[in-house]
Amino acid sequence: MEAVIPMDHIPVLLGEVSEYLKPEPNNLLIDGTVGLGGHAQALLPRVLPGGRLLGIDKDADNLEIARQRLSRFGESVVLVRDSYANIKTHAHAHQFHSVDSILLDLGFSSVHVDDPERGFSFRQDGPLDMRYDRSQEITAEMVVNEWSLEELARIFRQYGEEKKARQIAEAIVSARAQTPFSSTTQLAAMIAQTQRQRGRIHPATKIFQALRIAVNDELGELERVLPDCVDLLQVGGRLAIISFHSLEDRIIKQFFKSHSVLKVVSKRPITASQEEVKKNPRARSAKLRVAEKI
Ligand SMILES: C[S@@+](CC[C@H](N)C(=O)[O-])C[C@H]1O[C@@H](n2cnc3c(N)ncnc32)[C@H](O)[C@@H]1O
C-alpha cells in the first residue's frame, strides 16, 4: 500500500540548514535522519546536476514517505533503512566518500506523535511502544514492566532530568506487580496520581522522554555517529545537527569543541525565528549546531 505523504510537513530550520550547508552542484550529501524527506527535498535540487543524497532512517514508514516524496530525483537518491549509527557502512557501500555535507535532525517526527499506535504520546491511548525501528525487540512496555527499580530511576534521572526519579520508579514497580503496564494513558494516569502537576507540564512528560531515549538508545547512537561523520566529511565539508533537548545538545557541543579537526561554524546554537515557531510549535526547542572539517 502506498504511504500517505503528509503535505503539511514543515522541516525545522530549513532556511538555516540550507544557508550553513551551502549545497552546490556535484555535492555528496548524507541525511542521516531523512524522515519524511522534507529537508532532503529542499536540498536535493541544489546539488544537481551531478550530486547525490544518501538518506538513512530507522523507521520503515517514514522512509516510504521519503521514497515517494523524493522519487522524482531518480538515481540521485539512495535510501537505506537502518540506524545512522551505521552511517559509515552505508556511505561506503554506496560510494559516498569525501562527503560535502551531513545533516542529522534528531528525535521523532510529527507522524510518530500523531499516531497513537506508535505509543510516543500519552495524549491518546496506545500501546507502550516508542520504537523508531519496529523490528527492534525492546519496547517501552518491556522497559516499564521488566527493568529494575534502579535502572528505571537512573533513566528517569539521566534522560528525563526528573527530580522525583526514584519516587516515580518505586510507584511503577509497585503498580506493575498488581497489573503490568500496557498502554500510554495507563502509565500517564498512574504517574499523575502520584505526582502533583507543576505548571502546564503533565507530570508524565519527562518520564515519556526518558523512556523514548532509553528504548531507542538515542544518546548512545548520537555519541557513536559523531566521529564517523567527521571521518566521512572531506576537508571543508560541514556537519549540521538539529537537536531538541539539552542532553543531545550538550553531547554535540562538547564533541564539536573537543575535536581537533573541527571548526565550529555556529558559535551559538541557531534557533528558530518567532515566525517559524508560530507556524511550527515544535521548532521552539530546536537548536542547530554546525561544524566544518578543517
Ligand atoms: C525529526 S525527524 C526528521 C525529519 C526530516 N528531517 C524531514 O524533514 O522530514 C527524525 C527522524 O529520525 C529518525 N531516527 C531517529 N533516530 C534514528 C537513528 N538512530 N537512525 C536513523 N534514523 C533515526 C526517526 O525515525 C525520524 O524519522
CATH architecture of the domain covering 14-110+218-293: 3-Layer(aba) Sandwich (3.40)
The packing angle between helices 246-258 and 218-232, to 10°, is 30
- Domain parsing of the chain, residue ranges: 14-110+218-293, 134-215
pLDDT tens track for 175-185: 999 999 999 99
State the average pLDDT for the chain.
Answer: 95
Q: Whose CA is nearest to atom 20 of ligand 1?
A: 83
Q: What is the DSSP letter of 272?
A: -
**Which three three-digit cell numbers place residue 193?**
496520581
> For residue 16, is pLDDT > 70?
yes
Q: 130 CA distance to ligand 1 centroid (A)?
A: 13
The packing angle between helices 14-21 and 38-47, to 10°, is 30
List the beta strands (DSSP E) in 22-174.
28-31, 52-57, 77-81, 99-105
Q: How crowded is residue 265: how many other Cβ atoms within 10 Å of its Cβ?
A: 15
Pocket test for ligand 1, best of 43, 57, 104, 218 (most atoms within 8 A of CB): 57
Q: 132 CA distance to ligand 1 centroid (A)?
A: 8
Q: How crowded is residue 292: how many other Cβ atoms within 10 Å of its Cβ?
A: 17
The packing angle between helices 60-69 and 38-47, to 10°, is 40
pLDDT tens track for 53-68: 999 999 999 999 999 9
Q: Which CATH superfamily is domain 134-215 in?
A: Putative methyltransferase TM0872, insert domain (1.10.150.170)
- Average pLDDT value for residue range 102-129: 95
Strand partners of residue 39:
none
List the beta strands (DSSP E) in the chain.
28-31, 52-57, 77-81, 99-105, 233-243, 262-264, 287-293
> For residue 201, is pLDDT > 90?
no
Give pLDDT, residue 10.
Answer: 83
- Confidence grade of residue 144 (pLDDT, cut at 50, 70, 90): very high
With beta carbons less than 8 A apart as the criterion, state whether 55 and 67 touch.
no
Task: Name the region of 127 (left: φ>0; alpha: ψ -120 to 50; beta: rest).
Answer: beta
- Confidence grade of residue 7 (pLDDT, cut at 50, 70, 90): low
- Average pLDDT value for residue range 239-246: 97
> For residue 211, is pLDDT > 60?
yes
- Average pLDDT value for residue range 233-262: 97
- Confidence grade of residue 9 (pLDDT, cut at 50, 70, 90): confident
Q: Whose CA is nearest to atom 22 of ligand 1?
A: 57
Give pLDDT, residue 110.
Answer: 87
**Which three three-digit cell numbers place residue 251?**
553531547
Place of cell 559523531: 226
**Which three three-digit cell numbers place residue 278?**
508560530
Q: 198 CA distance to ligand 1 centroid (A)?
A: 31
Pairing of strands 77-81, 52-57: parallel
Give pLDDT, residue 197.
Answer: 76
Give pLDDT, residue 4.
Answer: 63
Among 253, 249, 240, CA closest to 219 = 249
Give CA 97 to chain center in angstroms: 24
